[in-house]
Chains A and B, each alone.
Chain A
Amino acid sequence: MSAGRLRVALAGNPNVGKTTIFNLLTGMRQKVANFPGVTVERKSGMLTGSRDVEVVDLPGSYSLHAKSLDEKIAYDVLTGRLERAPDVVVCVVDASNLERNLFMVTQIMDLQLPVIVALNMMDAAEEAGITVNAAVLADELRVPVLPMVARRKEGVEELRDAVLESSVGAPRPSWELMDAVAKKVPQLEEALGREADTVPANHRYVEVLRALTDDAALEAWRAAAPEFSADVEAVRIDLEARNVHYQHAEVMGRYQWITPLAARACERNPPELSFTDRVDAVLTHRVAGPITFGLLLGLIFQAVFAWAVPAMDAIEAVMAGLGAVATQVLPGSMVTDLLVDGVIAGIGNVAVFLPQILLLFFFLGLMEDTGYMARTAFLMDRVMKRVGLSGGSVLPLLASYACAIPGIMAARTLDSERDRIITIMVAPLMSCSARLPVYTLFIGAFIPQERLLGLFGYQGLAMFTLYLMGTAMAVVASWILKRFVFKGKASYFVMELPPYRRPQLRQILLRMLQRAKVFATRAGKIIFGLSIVLWFMATYPRVEADQEWMLERQELILQRDAARARVDEGSVEELVELIVAGDSARVYAVAQSDPERHRAAELSYAVSELDRQDHSRRIRSSLIGLMGRALEPVMQPLGFDWKMSAGIVAAFAAREVIVSTLGIIYSVGEVDERSVALREQLKADRYPDGRPVFTTLAAISLLVFFVFALQCMSTLAIAKRELNSWFWPCVMWAYMTGLAYVFSLAVYQGGLLLGFQ
């Protein structure tokens, strides 16, 4: 064993309770970081009660012959390609499903690392009528086997002790390759040893089997070890000529050894109809199944949109309060402006999405933890296959309704690289929560509050339509990718349907928080930095107001203060609000009954109006104004003026920024998407010739633009990371921006032709 920190890796199939065991071993002392040198996530923690034992949680895998990205990570860690190979591997095994679980255990044992088998889910096995004799199993495998029920924390202490004691490499299991293939292995091992000295001698066996049976693995050696690759190919041709199924040799050999072994270690008396069977009779029923799934989705969206509102309001109120306090306490200076308008508003922009994201993650976690998520994949696979995806894409796409970042990361579990690329490419078309503030602002301002046939509100319908448009476009885009880009590439769907289990609230909450943290830090960093940049761009270069304007303003302020001195302050403020809101009837009534108060209010309004004009002038000549005006000719056919164009420029880094950008441009102080002031300003804005800037048509055009455009730096960054190339992210940005422009153009020009304003 090497000096220094002891490293323990947790490996095993998906759904065997690996993460539960990880949490029990490490307590809350966990961290998610990257593997050194590569941007692959690494979940690790320190073993509780120790200072130098690190536990690494590997992604769930069925085999070391990696297919999904998750499996590739597990393989790379176990073979020491990403960092020093682990000192001990804990193979977590589902006792109710011994044979399939032991498959990967034999592969790991072939690497001759110290192995401990954690025989988890002894209770589930018992329910399924299976009694596993751990002692027999340990005898047969010749490694420690510890029975566990991780959900009830049984066996954790024993596992901890075993981890600290273990140091001997596992014996290679005595499974046998079919003769014809086995004869060829030694010569290939030698060839590999000559060319690739990076592969330790005791890993060569596994590596040779991989190259022999897996085309992708052989391909990977072609550059590094050309002679070895040629040898493997020659052996393949020779075996093929003799009609030997070498591709199946390893799997068959392992299972031929495992099957009788498992029979000796297990006693089986399965019940006629298990709990899972009875539940599945309903949940995967051809009629009841899809209906239940539909209802569940409805419930989730209802929850995300309705239940999150109070929490979002609270966060907004807190951030607004914080801004107000900062403005009062700090001296009026540029730094204060930056802090309030840039930093605090920027943090608020991120924080306000958290309730929705947390709720969505909670429901997704619940679906995963109970085992229902696999059923949704089963239910939807046929439909998804038609458009070029697979049932496994359901989870990533659902997650993308909260945020494309976790959605794209969830695509790692997909076996087929084609499915994974397509899923990642269309995930950003699902309307994420960052689009919501934009939708809310413009729908609230320009779509009437009336109801269609007295039933459905137009505003709600508009919102629904936007979500539908994005989803429908995702379907079309993936169909096109399948039909024209990945033509003829094979894809398959082989998915385990795990037994239903009672969800563990603690685990779900923990995962929900981890996911939200990833979102918040990543998105937060960008939006935070961006808000500061935006503030600078909207402030500089500064233009000074001319002399005449200054004098006019001073004169007006004098008159206003004189008028206000004659009446009650509070009642003036009320009246100003009425004027801003455009309530002319009530304003007129006050003007008749109380002309003094009316005059004070009119003057107050005039001063603020003058300030706003000044602000507008400053914005116009600021950097952001310059950019907006430069872009105006291109955006004019979509119905956007320079201010909207500036907002769109700003929003290319993160969509929700457009709300605060418009707020800065229209200078209405503290702004959020439900802010009445900003809505009214948008409606009241006029071109120099008197036409309104924002017609309903222009607003709809803007909404359509936001449905399709990829305005999110974090999404591009994560797509680059997950696909390890800039090609796909660039294609993603180009096609989505193209869609946005074309559809907005069609909506606006088509609307004009039809006579809408």
Chain B
Amino acid sequence: MTLRDLRPGEHGVITGFTGDTLPTRLLEMGMLPGESVEVLRLAPFGDPMDLRVRGYRLSVRKEDASQVRIDRRP
């Protein structure tokens, strides 16, 4: 599954990346394999996602999130 599939309130751990249009910016912001990510909410029109990663808040579009492979965690 990918980060896009996580629902608000759910956590997951990044396992890798897919696709070739992954923005490097996402990695530079600390979204790397092994990091845990929490989806806090979606924006009012359903996109982008509001995430918590490395203790701070990052918003990312779903189309970019769908290139981040993830393991859902309870």
- A contact residues vs B (CB 8 Å cutoff): 62-63, 65, 67, 96-97, 99-100, 103, 128, 130, 213-214, 247-248, 251-252, 255, 268, 270, 276-277, 280, 284-287, 289-290, 377-379, 381-383, 385, 391, 415, 490, 492-499
Find chain B residues with CB under 8 A from A391 CB: 48, 59
Known contacts A493-B64, A496-B57; A99/B28 CB under 8 A: no
Residue among B32, B33, B42, B46 having the largest count of chain A Cβ atoms under 10 Å: B32
B61 touches A492 (CB 8 A): yes
Known contacts A493-B60, A493-B61, A494-B58; A381/B43 CB under 8 A: yes
Q: What are 12 sample pairs from A and B whose C-beta atoms fall under 8 A apart?
A: A63-B28, A99-B54, A100-B54, A255-B30, A268-B55, A286-B41, A381-B59, A382-B45, A494-B29, A494-B61, A495-B58, A496-B59
Known contacts A62-B25, A252-B32, A494-B26; A378/B55 CB under 8 A: no
Find chain B residues with CB under 8 A from A255 CB: 30, 32
A378 touches B59 (CB 8 A): yes
A62 touches B47 (CB 8 A): no
Known contacts A100-B30, A496-B57, A497-B58; A378/B24 CB under 8 A: no
Find chain A residues with CB under 8 A from B28 CB: 62-63, 65, 103, 251
Find chain A residues with CB under 8 A from B48 CB: 378, 381-382, 391, 493, 495
Find chain B residues with CB under 8 A from A493 CB: 48, 59-61, 64
B44 touches A492 (CB 8 A): no
For residue A391, give the distance in angstroms from its CB to the closest CB of chain B: 7
Alpha-carbon distance A391/B32, docked complex (angstroms): 24
A494 touches B56 (CB 8 A): no
Alpha-carbon distance A255/B25, docked complex (angstroms): 14
> Is B9's CB within 8 Å of the partner chain A?
no
Q: Beyond the given A252-B32, A276-B57, could you list 17 further A-B residue pairs with CB under 8 A, ordered by the A residue number? A: A214-B24, A248-B32, A251-B27, A251-B28, A255-B30, A277-B40, A286-B44, A289-B44, A290-B44, A377-B59, A378-B59, A382-B45, A494-B26, A494-B58, A494-B61, A494-B64, A497-B50
Find chain B residues with CB under 8 A from A492 CB: 21, 23, 25-26, 61, 63-64
A67 touches B43 (CB 8 A): no
Which interface class (under 10, 10 to 19, 20 to 34, 35 or more) fits B?
20 to 34
For residue B67, give the distance in angstroms from its CB to the closest CB of chain A: 10
A213 touches B24 (CB 8 A): yes
A97 touches B21 (CB 8 A): no
Q: Which of A213, A268, A496 is within 8 Å of B29, CB to CB?
A: A496
Residue among B23, B25, B60 having the largest count of chain A Cβ atoms under 10 Å: B25
Alpha-carbon distance A378/B47, docked complex (angstroms): 8
B56 touches A415 (CB 8 A): no
Find chain B residues with CB under 8 A from A62 CB: 25, 28-29
For residue A285, give the distance in angstroms from its CB to the closest CB of chain B: 8
Find chain B residues with CB under 8 A from A490 CB: 21
Find chain B residues with CB under 8 A from A285 CB: 44
For residue A288, give the distance in angstroms from its CB to the closest CB of chain B: 9
B55 touches A97 (CB 8 A): yes
Q: Which of B25, B32, B47 is within 8 Å of A382, CB to CB?
A: B47
Find chain A residues with CB under 8 A from B21 CB: 490, 492
Find chain B residues with CB under 8 A from A385 CB: 47, 61
A494 touches B30 (CB 8 A): no
Residue among B17, B47, B59 having the largest count of chain A Cβ atoms under 10 Å: B59
For residue A556, give the distance in angstroms from its CB to the closest CB of chain B: 71
Known contacts A65-B24, A493-B64, A494-B64; A382/B58 CB under 8 A: no
Alpha-carbon distance A289/B28, docked complex (angstroms): 29
Question: Nearest 9 A-B pairs (CB), nearest first?
Answer: A382-B45, A497-B57, A286-B44, A251-B27, A492-B23, A63-B28, A382-B47, A494-B25, A493-B61
Residue among A128, A383, A494, A496 having the largest count of chain B Cβ atoms under 10 Å: A494
Residue among B27, B32, B58 having the largest count of chain A Cβ atoms under 10 Å: B27
A497 touches B46 (CB 8 A): no
Find chain A residues with CB under 8 A from B26 CB: 492, 494
Alpha-carbon distance A277/B55, docked complex (angstroms): 12
A270 touches B55 (CB 8 A): yes
| CB-CB nearest in chain A for B64 | A492
Find chain A residues with CB under 8 A from B56 CB: 96-97, 100, 496, 498
Q: Which of A213, A214, A497 is within 8 Å of B59, CB to CB?
A: A497
| CB-CB nearest in chain A for B26 | A494
Alpha-carbon distance A252/B34, docked complex (angstroms): 11
Find chain A residues with CB under 8 A from B50 CB: 280, 284, 378, 497
A287 touches B44 (CB 8 A): yes
| CB-CB nearest in chain B for A386 | B45
Alpha-carbon distance A255/B21, docked complex (angstroms): 21
Alpha-carbon distance A270/B52, docked complex (angstroms): 13
Find chain A residues with CB under 8 A from B47 CB: 381-382, 385
Alpha-carbon distance A379/B44, docked complex (angstroms): 6
Find chain B residues with CB under 8 A from A379 CB: 43-44
